[in-house]
Chain A
Amino acid sequence: MLKLVGGGGGQYWACSVTGTGLGGEGAVFEVARVGDPGKAGCVGPAWGCVGIPDSAPGAGMLQAGAAGPARGGQGAEEEGEPAGGGEERQPRHPPAPALRLLNRKPRGRSGEIKTTENDLQRGRLSRGPRSAPPALGMGDHGGLPERSDPHAPGSPAVAGAVAVNGLLHNGFHPTPVQLPRLCGRGPAGVGDAGPPRLPLQPELQPQPPPPQHDSPAKKCRLRRRMDSGRKNRPPFPWFGMDIGGTLVKLVYFEPKDITAEEEQEEVENLKSIRKYLTSNTAYGKTGIRDVHLELKNLTMCGRKGNLHFIRFPSCAMHRFIQMGSEKNFSSLHTTLCATGGGAFKFEEDFRTIADLQLHKLDELDCLIQGLLYVDSVGFNGKPECYYFENPTNPELCQKKPYCLDNPYPMLLVNMGSGVSILAVYSKDNYKRVTGTSLGGGTFLGLCCLLTGCETFEEALEMAAKGDSTNVDKLVKDIYGGDYERFGLQGSAVASSFGNMMSKEKRDSISKEDLARATLVTITNNIGSIARMCALNENIDRVVFVGNFLRINMVSMKLLAYAMDFWSKGQLKALFLEHEGYFGAVGALLELFKMSDDQ
C-alpha cells in the first residue's frame, strides 16, 4: 500500500543505449592459469592489491588516479598516487617485464568481425522473431562500433599515460604503506588486510567448489611476469564478470600507463581486446559499454587506467564463449574471474568450448566488495552515492550526494532479475536477510506479456508515459476516500491491478498504463519488503543497487518516497551510480587478490 508519487517517470540519466552486438573480434580473452585460487585469500601485503577497500582502506592501489575524486575534502588520493617506492620493496620483482609475444595468427580483421557479429545476431534471432531486431531500443549508432579495427597501431593515449600519471618507469604503482583512509573511513578494516577472503558465516556462503584449475602453477607464474608487468600482478587483460539471470556485467580495466616497451611487447590479441573495447561503445547487437560510468584514471593493482563497464544479455553468453574459443582467448592465460549464477552454469562451456577456466566467486562477496570499492574511489571526482532530498514532495524532490563513509550497518537491496536483501554490518560481516522473486525480471517479463514490448528500455519508456491509477484500485476506489480507521490515504494503492478485475476497465486502459502499473507494483513491493527487513534488522540506511534501477528514475523516486513515508522519515534510501556493476567489480578485485597470494 504505497502511495504513488507522481512524476519522475522516465528521466533517463545518461543512458548509453547505443547498441549492437557484443564481441567484435577484439574482445579476445585470455585466461592465465593462475595458481591455486583456493589461496586467493592471501594478499601479498606489499602489493596491497586487495580489492577490498576496507581491508586496507586508503591503500594506494585502490585509489583513483590523479583525476580521482576528492570526496569530502579528503586528500587520501594524493598520498597514494605518487609514492614511488612500491617497486623497490619487492625483492622478488623481476628485472623487466618479460612480455612474450605469443605466436598466434593475427585475427580480428573485418571479415571475422562480421562473422562474430552475425553469430551473435543469429544467437538472438534463434530465439524468435521478436528479439531479432536490435534489442536495445534506442537504436544503434550506425553499426559503427564493431567496425573499429582492433589492430590499429599503438594508441598514443596509452603511451602517454605513463608520464601523465607519474608512475614508475614500468608503470607500476608503489607499494602501499598505511595511508590515511579514504574519505575518513573508520579504522575497522585496518590491519586485517591479511585475510581478505571474508570469514562469512558458512551457511551464507556457498563455498566455491575446489578449484579445478588444472594448468600448472608454474606456467601461471611465468605468464604473470609478463603482461601486467609484475610478478604478483595478474596478466592483462583484467576482467571481472558477473553473469546474472538476465544480464552479463563485465568490467574491463584498460591500462593507460603502458610503457613503450610494454606496448611493443603486448601480444596482438591482447592489444586488440584493449583497442576494441575502448574504442567502441557497443558490441555486436546487444553489448553496451556504459561510457558514462567509466572510471577514469583509476589505479588498480598498481596500474593506472580506466575501468570500463560493459553489459550484454545473458542469452548471448554462448555466443560470447564461442567467440572466446574462436579468438583463442585461452592463449592469453588470463584468469577470468566470474560471479553470478552463470559462473556456475557456463563454467563447463567455458572450459570445453573455449578452454577457459573460470574462477568462480561468491556473488554476495563480490557485490559488497565491489560496492565498497567503487564507493571508496568515487565517481571521477563525484560521489558514487546519492539520495533524494524531499522524497515525499514531487516538486522539491532532487538527487543529492551522500557520503557513505561510514556505511555500516546498511541494508543492501540488490535488484536484478530477482531481489536479494543483505544486512551488511562490516565489510566481512553480512548476511542475506531475504529475497524476493518479484524483481527486474518480473517487471520486464510481465511488461513483455502485457504490452508486447521487448526491451527494458522500451518497457520503461512506456511506463514513463503511463498512469498506474487507471490500473490499480486505490483506497478511495473502495472507501470513497481515506480509510480513516487505519489511517490510509485515499490515494494509496489498495490493490495492484485491482481495477483490471472489471472488464470495462480492462478495455479502457493503455499499454503505457499497464507498464507503469507493473513498474509501480514491483517497485513498491520491493520497497515494502526492504522496509520490513530494515525494521527487523534495525537498520536505517537502505542501499538500493542492481540493474533494475538502470535508467529507472520512477523506481528510485518511488523507493525513496516509500522508505521515507512509511517510516516517517526514519529510513533513508540510498542509491549508487554504478548500480548494477558491483558484482563484476568485486570479481575483478578478486583477480588481484588471487594473484597476490602467490
Chain B
Amino acid sequence: MAECGASGSGSSGDSLDKSITLPPDEIFRNLENAKRFAIDIGGSLTKLAYYSTVQHKVAKVRSFDHSGKDTEQDHEPPYEISVQEEVTARLHFVKFENTYIEACLDFIKDHLVNTETKVIQATGGGAYKFKDLIEEKLQLKVDKEDVMTCLIKGCNFVLKNIPHEAFVYQKDADPEFRFQTNHPNIFPYLLVNIGSGVSIVKVETEDRFEWIGGSSIGGGTFWGLGALLTKTKKFDELLHLASKGQHTNVDMLVQDIYGGAHQTLGLSGNLIASSFGKSATADKEFSKEDMAKSLLHMISNDIGQLACLYARLHCLDRVYFGGFFIRGHPVTMRTITYSINFFSKLWVSWPCCLGMSPGGVFPRQGEVQALFLRHEGYLGAIGAFLKGAEQDNPNQYSWGENYAGSSGLMSSSPELCPTQRARSGTFDLLEMDRLERPLVSLPLLLDPPSYVPDTVDLTDDALARKYWLTCFEEALDGVVKRAVASQPGSVDAAERAEKFRQKYWNKLQTLRHQPFAYGTLTVRSLLDTREHCLNEFNFPDPYSKVKQKDNGVALKCFQRVVHSLDALGWEERQLALVKGLLAGNVFDWGAKAVSEVLESDPQFGFEEAKKKLQERPWLVDSYSRWLQRLKGPPHKCALIFADNSGVDVILGVFPFVRELLSRGTEVILACNSGPALNDVTHSEALLVAERVAAMDAVVRSALREERLLLVQTGSSSPCLDLSRLDKGLAVLVRERGADLVVIEGMGRAVHTNYHAALRCESLKLAVLKNSWLAERLGGRLFSVIFKYEVPAE
C-alpha cells in the first residue's frame, strides 16, 4: 500500500505556514513557465511535479554569408557565433513536508503566470485529504490517479532515464551505496513498496504490471506498534531508537534455545528463533531502544522473506524496494538487505526446526538482490505527472538528470544526525531535462548489460576521489575566468560566474562527504556536473570563442599538413597520421597541464605538440598490429568520436578520416550535440567540414556521396557513455555496418571506455595530459595510449 496520511501532520496553523519564506531561486524554479502539475501527497511528505520550459542561452555557430570565398585574411574567424535564446523542457520535482503544503500552494498560486492547465494530477494517500485545499488554492481540478500505477510509471521512468538510479546498500562498506548500471531492458522486475503495508508488484512491460501479493506487516506496523511499545510518536524517532537498540535482549535467539550447542550444529547463535520471544518468558522491563530494534528486525525480515518468496515464485531477481519505510533510511535499507541476503541464500538449507530470521551475522549476497532507488520518493509524483502528460508523449523522449538542479542522495544516517533526518524545512529537488533526441545503446557494444562507461569509480577509490575533487576545485578559478571572458558584452557575467563558482564548489563539497549523492562518482560525473552548473548560470559555451579561434588557426594549416602527409611513403604516413591524431589531442583546454601551456604560449602549435608526445614504444602501444591491419582489406565503415576543436579535429582527425576514405572506408564522424569545454560540437564540425571540403577533394566528394557523415552523439559531456547515444547515430551505425570504432581523447578513451568491449575492432587513443593519471597508469605526462583491440572471434 502506499503510504497514507496517518501521521497527523497535515496543515498546521497559518502562522507557521506563512512564516516560511521560500527561496524561489532555489525551490520552485521556472514556475512562471509551468505548464502542467502533478502532486503526490504521502503520510508526511508532499511531492510536487511540474513541467516547465527553461529559456537559456545557447551559442550557435553559423557560416558567414561569404563563406566559400577565399578567406585567407589572418584575423577573420572561420564562422560566426551568436548567442541565442533556446527553450528546452524540464521536469521539476520538489519534495517538502506536508506541513508546508498550504504555504507552497500559495506560493505556486502567486507565481503561476502562463499556465493554461486546468487540472492537477494527484496521487498518494493524502490526495483526497488535501483535495479541497488544492482545488481552492490553485483553482485547478484535482484528478486522482491510482497510486500503484503512478509508482510503477515513475519507477519505469527513472530506471530508463537515470543511469545509476538503482543501488544496493552495503553495511559498513565504503561507499555504503553501490550503484547498478542500468540494464538496457529494465523489465521484468519486482517492486516492493513498503508504505503502511506492503505491496508487491510484478512489472512486465511499460503498461503491464500485476499486484502479486502483499503483506499487512509494513511501515505502518513498525510505526503503530512501535508507538505503542515505546510511546514514541514519530517514525524517524522510532528509527533512531531502533538504531541504538539491541534486539538480542528482546528476541529469543537460537543460542537461547540451543545453549552453546548451536556452534557444534553449525548454527549461527544470533539467528532469531522467535521475535519478541524473550518478552514472553522473561519478566523484566525492556528498553525502548531494544524493542524498537527488535520490531525493526521483525518487520524487515518478514518483508524480505516475503519478497524472496514472491521473487522466486515469479523467477525474478531484480527486486526494487520503495515506500516511506525505506525512503533513504540507512537503518531500514540495511535490515531489508540483510533479510534478502539471508532468505535468498539460505532458502532451503536451514537445519533446524525453528523459525529463523537473521539477527546478527549475515551471509553474503544471495541470488536475489535488494535494490533501492535514488529517486524513490519521487516515483509517485513522476508517475502522476506522466499520467497527466500522456498527450505530450513524455516517454518517447529521453530525459537526463540535471545535476545542477537536483539535490543529491542524502546519507544522514540517524546515528550521526537525528535532527537532520527530521528534514524540517528542507526541500529536496530533482530536475530532469528533456533531451532533444532519444538515447539508445551503441549497437556495437559487446554486452550492453555489463557495459560500464567509467574506468575509475571514485566512490570506491578514495585516493582517486580526493585527487580529482581537489583537481576540479583548483581548476574552478580558471573556469570562472573563462566563463566571464566568453561573454564580454554581458553586464552580469561576473555575477553569474560567481554564482556558478559557488554552486559548483558546493557540489564538490557535497561530493566530498557524500560521493554517492548523484550515483557513482566519476570524472565524467564531475565534468557533467560542471557543465550543468555552467548552463544553469547561462554560460552555455564558455569556450566558444576559443574554439572559434582555434578552428580558424587550424584550418589555415590544413592544406600544409595534408601536403606533407601526402609526401610521405605509405607506412610513414600511417604513423604520421596517428601521431597527428595524438598531437591534436594535446590541445585540450580541459587539461590543466595543457591549458597552462596554451595560456602562456599563444604560439604553441601542432609541431610543438608533436614534440611533447612520448616516443614509441608508447605506454600502451599496439600500433604495430594496427599497421598490420591496415595492410589488410579496408574497413567497411569507421565510427569516429572526435574530441577537441581546432588542431585536434582539423589537423588530427580530418587527415585520418581522409586516409580512411581513400582506402574505401566510409566514415561516421560523431561529435557532441552540445558544448563541453573545447570539445568540437556537431554544429561546429559541420562548418569545419564544409571548410575542409572546400580545400580538399577527398573530403568534398565523400561528403557529397555520403561516404563521410557527420552525426551528433546526443551528449554534451567531455566523456562518452556508449549506452546513451543518439538514436540516429545508432541507426546509422547499424545501416552502414560499422566495423571500426575510433575513440579519441582522455575523456572518452581513458576516463571512460578504456575497458569497453566492442563487437568490432576499436582504436582508443589519447595523450595523458594529467600527471597524476599518467602516474597511475604507469606513465608520465604526455604518455601515449594507443589501444587497438580486435574482439575475440
A residues with a Cβ closer than 8 A to B are: 1-2, 127-131, 203-206, 209, 244-246, 313-315, 340-342, 344-348, 363-364, 367, 414, 416-420, 431-442, 444-450, 471-473, 475, 477-478, 480, 485-488, 492-504, 506, 514, 521, 524-525, 528-529, 532-533, 535-536, 583
Quick one: which of B125, B225, B260, B356 contacts A500, CB cutoff 8 A? B225
Quick one: which of A204, A315, A536 contacts B312, CB cutoff 8 A? A536
Do B277 and A420 touch across chains, with their CB atoms under 8 A apart? no
Quick one: which of B125, B213, B217, B286 contacts A525, CB cutoff 8 A? B217
Given A417-B277, A449-B279, A532:B306 Cβ within 8 A: yes
Do B309 and A532 touch across chains, with their CB atoms under 8 A apart? yes
The distance in angstroms between the C-alpha atoms of A443 and B4, with both chains bound, is 26
Do B196 and A445 touch across chains, with their CB atoms under 8 A apart? no
Given A346-B259, A442-B274, A480-B128, A450:B229 Cβ within 8 A: yes
What is the CB-to-nearest-CB distance from A154 to chain B, in angstroms, rounded to a whole number? 40
Which residues of B lie under 8 Å from residue A417 when comparing CB positions? 252, 257, 273-274, 277, 280, 354-355
Quick one: which of A367, A495, A528 contacts B1, CB cutoff 8 A? A495
B233 an interface residue at 8 Å Cβ cutoff? yes
Which residues of B lie under 8 Å from residue A478 when comparing CB positions? 1-2, 4, 125, 196
Given A1-B216, A494-B197, A524-B216, A445:B224 Cβ within 8 A: no
Do A315 and B281 touch across chains, with their CB atoms under 8 A apart? yes
Do B1 and A494 touch across chains, with their CB atoms under 8 A apart? yes
B233: nearest chain-A partner, CB-CB: A503
The distance in angstroms between the C-alpha atoms of A501 and B355, with both chains bound, is 28
Given A246-B280, A529-B309, A439:B264 Cβ within 8 A: no
The distance in angstroms between the C-alpha atoms of A256 and B792, with both chains bound, is 82
The distance in angstroms between the C-alpha atoms of A325 and B277, with both chains bound, is 29
Q: Which residues of chain B (337-368) have a CB below 8 Å from chain A?
A: 343, 347-357
Which residues of B lie under 8 Å from residue A502 when comparing CB positions? 6-8
What is the CB-to-nearest-CB distance from A304 to chain B, in angstroms, rounded to a whole number? 31
B276 an interface residue at 8 Å Cβ cutoff? yes
Task: Give how many B residues have a beta carbon under 8 Å from the other chain's beta carbons.
Answer: 84
Q: What are 16 A-B residue pairs whose CB atoms fall within 8 Å in the complex?
A: A1-B213, A203-B349, A206-B266, A314-B281, A347-B259, A434-B309, A436-B301, A445-B250, A450-B228, A473-B196, A495-B218, A500-B225, A501-B43, A501-B224, A521-B221, A529-B305
B654 an interface residue at 8 Å Cβ cutoff? no
Which residues of B lie under 8 Å from residue A475 when comparing CB positions? 1
What is the CB-to-nearest-CB distance from B121 to chain A, in angstroms, rounded to a whole number? 16
Do B227 and A1 touch across chains, with their CB atoms under 8 A apart? no
Q: Contact mask B301-312 → A, CB, 8 Å, 1/0?
A: 110011001101
Query: Which secondary structure dominates chain A's binding surface?
Result: helix
What is the CB-to-nearest-CB distance from A543 to chain B, in angstroms, rounded to a whole number? 14
Quick one: which of A436, A442, A492, A503 contacts B277, CB cutoff 8 A? A442
Do B273 and A432 touch across chains, with their CB atoms under 8 A apart? no
Do A499 and B6 touch across chains, with their CB atoms under 8 A apart? yes
Which residues of B lie under 8 Å from residue A504 when comparing CB positions? 8
A245, A416, A448 interface centre (most CB from chain B within 10 Å):
A245
B601 an interface residue at 8 Å Cβ cutoff? no
Which residues of B lie under 8 Å from residue A524 when comparing CB positions? 216
Which residues of A lie under 8 Å from residue B313 when comparing CB positions? 532, 535-536
Which residues of A lie under 8 Å from residue B43 when comparing CB positions? 501
Do B298 and A499 touch across chains, with their CB atoms under 8 A apart? no
Quick one: which of B148, B281, B286 contacts A486, CB cutoff 8 A? B148
Do A441 and B276 touch across chains, with their CB atoms under 8 A apart? yes
Do B352 and A445 touch across chains, with their CB atoms under 8 A apart? no
Quick one: which of B211, B251, B281, B349 contacts A246, CB cutoff 8 A? B281
Which residues of A lie under 8 Å from residue B260 when comparing CB positions? 345
Which residues of B lie under 8 Å from residue A440 when comparing CB positions? 274
B146 an interface residue at 8 Å Cβ cutoff? yes
The distance in angstroms between the C-alpha atoms of A572 and B265, with both chains bound, is 34
B261 an interface residue at 8 Å Cβ cutoff? yes
Do A1 and B214 touch across chains, with their CB atoms under 8 A apart? yes
B256 an interface residue at 8 Å Cβ cutoff? yes
Identify 14 new A-B residue pairs, CB closer than 8 A, beyond the known A246-B274, A447-B280, A502-B8: A347-B261, A363-B352, A418-B356, A434-B347, A435-B352, A439-B275, A442-B276, A449-B286, A494-B220, A495-B197, A495-B219, A496-B224, A498-B224, A501-B6
Do A473 and B220 touch across chains, with their CB atoms under 8 A apart? yes
The distance in angstroms between the C-alpha atoms of A503 and B9, with both chains bound, is 11
Which residues of B lie under 8 Å from residue A204 when comparing CB positions? 349, 351
Q: Which residues of chain B (276-316) have a CB below 8 Å from chain A?
A: 276-284, 286, 291, 298, 301-302, 305-306, 309-310, 312-313
B699 an interface residue at 8 Å Cβ cutoff? no
The distance in angstroms between the C-alpha atoms of A348 and B260, with both chains bound, is 10
Which residues of B lie under 8 Å from residue A246 when comparing CB positions? 274, 277, 280-281
Which residues of B lie under 8 Å from residue A447 when comparing CB positions? 280
What is the CB-to-nearest-CB distance from A522 to chain B, in angstroms, rounded to a whole number? 9
B351: nearest chain-A partner, CB-CB: A206
Quick one: which of B266, B279, B283, B350 contacts A446, CB cutoff 8 A? B279
Quick one: which of A432, A437, A446, A525 contacts B353, CB cutoff 8 A? A432
The distance in angstroms between the C-alpha atoms of A437 and B199, with both chains bound, is 21
Do A446 and B276 touch across chains, with their CB atoms under 8 A apart? yes
Which residues of A lie under 8 Å from residue B355 when comparing CB positions? 416-420, 435-439
The distance in angstroms between the C-alpha atoms of A40 and B369, with both chains bound, is 44
Given A442-B298, A485-B146, A497:B228 Cβ within 8 A: yes
B234: nearest chain-A partner, CB-CB: A501
B274: nearest chain-A partner, CB-CB: A441
B218, B254, B276, B349 interface centre (most CB from chain A within 10 Å):
B276
The distance in angstroms between the C-alpha atoms of A441 and B302, with both chains bound, is 15
A2, A445, A450, A528 interface centre (most CB from chain B within 10 Å):
A445
A446: nearest chain-B partner, CB-CB: B276
B467 an interface residue at 8 Å Cβ cutoff? no
B167 an interface residue at 8 Å Cβ cutoff? no
Given A341-B354, A434-B347, A502-B8, A497:B225 Cβ within 8 A: yes
B223 an interface residue at 8 Å Cβ cutoff? yes
Q: Which residues of chain B (1-56) have a CB below 8 Å from chain A?
A: 1-2, 4, 6-8, 43
Quick one: which of B4, B264, B356 contacts A209, CB cutoff 8 A? B264
The distance in angstroms between the C-alpha atoms of A416 and B280, with both chains bound, is 13
Do A532 and B310 touch across chains, with their CB atoms under 8 A apart? yes
Which residues of B lie under 8 Å from residue A363 when comparing CB positions? 352-353
What is the CB-to-nearest-CB distance from B231 to chain A, in angstroms, rounded to a whole number? 9
What is the CB-to-nearest-CB distance from B375 to chain A, in angstroms, rounded to a whole number? 23
Which residues of B lie under 8 Å from residue A314 when comparing CB positions? 281
Which residues of A lie under 8 Å from residue B267 when comparing CB positions? 206
